[in-house]
Chains A and B, each alone.
Chain A
């Protein structure tokens, strides 16, 4: 009932959305979130995302399982890329489908909060000045407390 894909290749968010929960008549709400490579200072050349093959899929699987347990969902999709990306490129996508929108919104937020700090990905930014690892933010950790 859930789809999880961890991949290097880009994905077509529009096509994914069209295919998601297609043909189901018990779904009244679909929520999607897309994570995009942001260039704050105009100097970012590339973002490099590393992950832990094996653990990544397991960790996302557990997060999705918990979302399915907490909310009434008809379907759930997580796509997360790794490798090299340019500013403006899509990094990841979450979609939730539910009979009612409250469940779809809440589950999507929950998935995003946990993917941010409990799925083994690490981001590195490369600019003309050199390379640096993106540090985890305290507020991302704190965001988990609300659940």
Chain B
């Protein structure tokens, strides 16, 4: 399946791009992260500490164990600092 993967804040800076289309067979967010980490050092740098990251699936906050079934957009970012 093909999904849109978005990056924000320092995750975007470490990976070097705001979004990309990813062809994957990953069943969960954690599996997708493992796939990405294996690609290039810049992904390893961004995903080194998952405790420092949050994930949203189709624009809803989710977690790394969540399945990717039917998901079209995955976003990775640090804890939010609004207000």
Contact = CB atoms under 8 A, between A and B. Distances in A.
Contacts, number: 71
Interface of A: 35, 50, 52, 54-55, 58-59, 80, 91-92, 112, 115-124, 133-136, 141
Contacts of B9: 50, 122, 124, 133
A35 B83 contact: yes
Interface residues of B, number: 17
A42 B59 CA distance: 37
Given A120-B8, A122-B8, A136 B59 contact: no
A91 B9 CA distance: 18
Contact of A136 (B8, B61, B79): B79
B83 A52 contact: no
Contact of B83 (A50, A112, A133): A112
